[in-house]
Structure 1
Amino acid sequence: MFEQTFKNIDDILHKDAGCGSELDYVEQTSWVLFLKYLDDLERDRATAAELTGKTYTPIIEPEYQWSIWAAPKLQRARLSKSGSVTEPVEVDHNALTGDDLIDFVNGKLFPYLSKFKLSAENADTIEYKIGEIFSELKNRVQSGYNLREVINRIDELRFRTHAEKHEMSHLYEDKIKNMGNAGRNGGEYYTPRPLITTIVKVVDPKIGEKNYDAACGSAGFLFEAYEYL
């Protein structure tokens, strides 16, 4: 399911004037994927907190939550300001598109997310990482209609199980490998999986030791070390 979705997204971005290379496709797909993944993470945390009788404070304010600006639907539950999962409520199902979507993403969403870096307690927090990412990134998709298609495709994906996350990691590595094969500079960040597996076997990590990947991208070394252990 993920592989076909990525192919469809590449076809959409290929038509956009702001995306001219495989590197652009990966970058622009990644920030949308990140926000969808973050929304799923917040929902899991809110559910876990509710089951234990605790209160979860969402990272993202309601206006900027995925289920509000990206994929509003009728009868969809969302996080309240207090962090609890509200009962399904009827919300506007006419999602932003065209110039309205581009104006929101460029003028409101990215500036809001980039400020997390300044307000985060320290660099180890997820808030700081959000701010770091969106301080460096720019939305290069010029057509709000193309961006709407990309968002709709990604909204269909789910990242709740380990199998889904594992598939996503492999597909991301394939994307980076393809950039390298095409002569793009993104390929310099790719280490072939057989080489990773061999290095892990030579290092021979032991349970109880710390495993550190100083140039972690798709976490291939960490995953193979985990599997080895």
Structure 2
Amino acid sequence: MNFEQTFKNIDDLLYKDSGADSELDYIGQTSWVMFLRYLDELEQDKADEAELRGEDYNFILDSAYRWPNWAMPKGPDGKLDHHKAMTGPDLVQFVDNKLFPYLAEFKQKADNPKTIEYKIGEIFSELKNKIQSGYNLREILEYADELPFRASTDKHELSHLYESKIKNMGNAGRNGGQYYTPRPLIRAMINVVDPQIGEKIYDGAAGSCGFLCEAYEYLYERMEKTTDNLKTLQEETLYGKEKKNLAYVIGIMNMILHGIEAPNLIHMNTLGENIRDIQEKNRYHVILANPPFGGKERKEVQQNFDIKTGETASLFLQHFIKSLKTGGRAAIVIKNTFLSNADNASISLRKHLLESCNLHTILDSQQVHLQVQV
């Protein structure tokens, strides 16, 4: 099947809908639908595996909220059963008043933030369904049902299409650019730090998780494919934090499409953490990031840092220095004026960098033009 055409068909329906009016909305709405489609495939896989072992599988979602029951009830012929399938206002009311509140409750019920249950709750606490026409939504669900998530080749193609949507969103302007770092730049930075299996990799300004996805690909291609290594890569290697609601959801979906089942992505303001509280056990071997430039943080947030400044990029650098294990490596995109700024905070921060780390820094203004080994 033509995945690209399926994505285009979904976008065309969102364009026609009065509730979704930007590239940001398109990818947010596509993401929640795709996530539930993926979750159904994941649950079916786990149920099949349990059956082979002669065991019962406890589904995460109650029956009424599983994809085959509310989104795509099918008849014996394998086609949509129009007598059972909701559409129009009934479908929108179910999604808004029952499905989303039910899924949002998982945040309270989950054991810890690393579980897929917690991710379900987090996503549906933060997103709202913006598709106002239940007829458009019915068609979108039917298109999404055609997307297969089981074969790795399918996932690979879907991940590329999703990345292109993220890129388009960044190109759309406004605040979309915060979500996308050019992939050649990311790969160059990963090649410099050369992460190894068994090391913990961190991005505290994760956005759409481009760094973490590319790091996953880099490690997967190079490591020995043992059960232990695969488990380590899935569960104990890639860590991120993201403040913005939509970016968090997009990042989760992007990592899932790259093959990471329950991403270690936390929804929080990284700069809200006092760097004096960061201990060795909280530190990482490798840090990869493109923190936002030009933002301003409030005075109370600045109190979490030794060098006081409202500039978000400078605060992130302090956070990253403190979050790096002894002997660790970092590659971070920073403003091209960082080495020349004469304000007190910039001077103090450069001095702090020289004293604290062996830091690979790639400076970027439109394109990479300088690489420094400190």
Q: What TM-score, normalized by structure 2, do the two folds share?
A: 0.55
1:217 partner amino acid: C
Structure 2: state its 5+ residue gaps.
224-374
* Greater Rg over alpha carbons, structure: 2
1:183 lines up with 2:191 in the alignment: no
Residue equivalent to 2:12: 11
The alpha carbon displacement at 1:221 in A equals 2.5
Q: Contact (CA 8 Å) 2:112, 2:118: kept in 1 or not? A: yes
Unaligned runs of 5+ in 1: 78-90
Give the CA deviation at 1:228.
4.7
* Deviation per residue, 1:32-66 (Å, 9 max, x gap): 00000000000000000111122210000001000
SS across alignment from 2:201? coil
CA contact (8 A) 1:211 1:225 kept: no
* Equivalent in 116, 123, 140 of residue 113 of structure 2: 123
- Which of 97, 108, 111 pairs up with 2:101? 111
Query: 1:207, CA displacement in angstroms?
Result: 3.6
Amino acid aligned to 1:224: E
> Are the structure 2 counterparts of residues 13 and 181 from structure 1 closer, same or farther at C-alpha, using a change threshold of 3 Å?
same
Q: Distance in 1 between matches of 2:181 and 2:129?
A: 27
Structure 2 letter corresponding to 1:3: E
Counterpart contact for 1:23–1:184, Cα < 8 Å: no
Q: Distance in 1 between matches of 2:107 and 2:158?
A: 26
- Where has structure 1 moved over 3 Å in runs of 4 or more? 91-94, 210-214
Residues 131 and 22 (structure 1 numbering): CA distance in 2 closer, same or farther, change over 3 Å? same
* Greater share of strand: 2
Work out the percentage of aligned pairs sharing the same amino acid: 62
CA separation in 2, counterparts of 1:169 and 1:143?
A: 28
Over 3 Å counting, the alpha-carbon distance change for 1:220 and 1:184 in structure 2 is: farther
**Larger RCO, structure (CA 8 Å, separation 6 or more):** 1
User: CA deviation digits over 1:107-161, x for unaligned, max 9?
Assistant: 1000100001111111111111100100001000100000011001001110001
Displacement, 1:14? 0.5
Which residue number corresponds to residue 165 of structure 1?
155
AA of the residue aligned to 2:209: G
138 and 172 in structure 1: CA distance in 2 versus 1, 3 angstrom threshold: same
Aligned to 2:3: 2
The letter for the 2-side match of 1:103 is: Q
Q: Structure 1 length as normaliser, TM-score?
A: 0.88
Partner of 2:41: 40
Tell me the equivalent position of 2:128: 138
Show the counterpart of 2:300.
Answer: none
Q: How many residues align?
A: 216
- 3-state DSSP of counterpart to 1:94: coil
Does residue 56 (structure 1) correspond to residue 57 (structure 2)? The answer is: yes
For residue 222 of structure 1, the aligned residue among 215, 221, 225 is 215
What letter is aligned with 1:144? G
- Call closer, same or farther: CA 1:182–1:61 in 2, change over 3 Å: same
Q: Report the CA distance shift for 1:166/1:213 in structure 2 as closer, same or farther (over 3 A).
A: farther
Deviates more, 1:198-207 or 1:11-20: 198-207
Structure with a larger share of its residues in helix: 1
CA distance in 2 between partners of 1:52 and 1:142 (Å): 44
Distance 1:139 1:76, change over 3 A: farther
Query: Which moves more between the two structures, 182-191 or 205-214?
Result: 205-214
| Equivalent-residue separation in structure 2 for 1:45 and 1:92 (angstroms) | 28
Change (3 A) 1:198 1:93: farther
